[in-house]
Structure 1
Amino acid sequence: TASMVHNCCVPECPKAGYRIQDGRKVSFHKIPSREQIRLKWIHAIKRDPGKHFTISKHTKVCSLHFHEDDFTVDQFPINHKLRPNAVPSVFDFTPKL
């Protein structure tokens, strides 16, 4: 069976597949079902659900949009297990300070 290639739903993120150029693994994370944290994710990725964007079980955000400390330390980088309240915060469209 062919494994499904994941795509990142963040605007301007070209990430599809499981590795970046230097060989590091990239993981993909479902948008949380808990409404409070889900709304933070939607706001962070600048995508409002509607005609051009719907959230399904296949809607994922790649690990490149999280800081290393958003992941549980004992699992990083093997499993890329996100902390329960982690919100994506690393974006190309974030103004550089």
Structure 2
Amino acid sequence: MVRMCAFPGCFNRQKAVRLRPRPLSPEERLTFHRFPLNDPQRLRLWLLAVHRDTSLPVQSLEVLRLCSQHFSRDDFRSDKGNVRRYLKSTAVPVWFLKTEKVSKDCSLCDQ
């Protein structure tokens, strides 16, 4: 199954290992991240960021992923000696189609 970014208008797809370009630095590599299903407040922020209904059942969200282009560099951490990078537990998507940035303390977030 090919993973696609759930962000509206984003066409990034996760490619098979054999089809990926040569390894890039961890900061440049495109990664895909699950929605924070165990954190209701942060899940709501993610759903607002991707223009989805905040009352969607959790089961329908299990397959959704967001690509790393919709997060700031500060939202990631990497383990020393490990080439993988991880989202911090406070990460919320802030990049809208690479050009527009949304403030993490926007008025929509308080509703």
Fold match by TM threshold 0.5: yes
Task: Calculate percent identity across the aligned residue pairs.
Answer: 31
The equivalent residue for 2:35 is 31
How do 1:70-89 residues align onto structure 2 when only pairs under 5 Å count?
70-74=75-79, 78-89=83-94
Which structure carries more strand by proportion? 2
Q: Distance in 1 between matches of 2:47 and 2:41?
A: 10
Rg comparison, structure with higher value: 2
Report what 1:41 is aligned to. Answer: 46
Local SS of the residue matching 2:69: helix
2:48/2:54 contact within 8 Å kept: no
Show structure 2 runs of 5+ residues with no match. Answer: 102-111
How far 1:56 moved relative to its partner? 2.7
Matched AA of 1:8: C
Aligned residues, how many?
A: 88
CA contact (8 A) 1:49 1:55 kept: no
User: In structure 2, what is the equivalent of residue 17 of structure 1?
Assistant: 14
The 8 Å contact of residues 30 and 57 in structure 1, kept in 2 or not, is answered as: yes
For 1:78 and 1:40, locate their aligned partners in 2 and report how far apart those are by CA, in whole Å.
28
- Which has the larger share of helix? 2
Root mean square deviation of aligned Cα: 2.9
Measured after TM superposition, the shift of residue 9 of structure 1 is: 0.4
Gaps of 5+ in 1: none
- Taking the aligned partners of 2:63 and 2:36, their CA distance within structure 1 comes to 12
Hey, what's the Cα distance between the residues in 1 that align with 2:13 and 2:52? 18
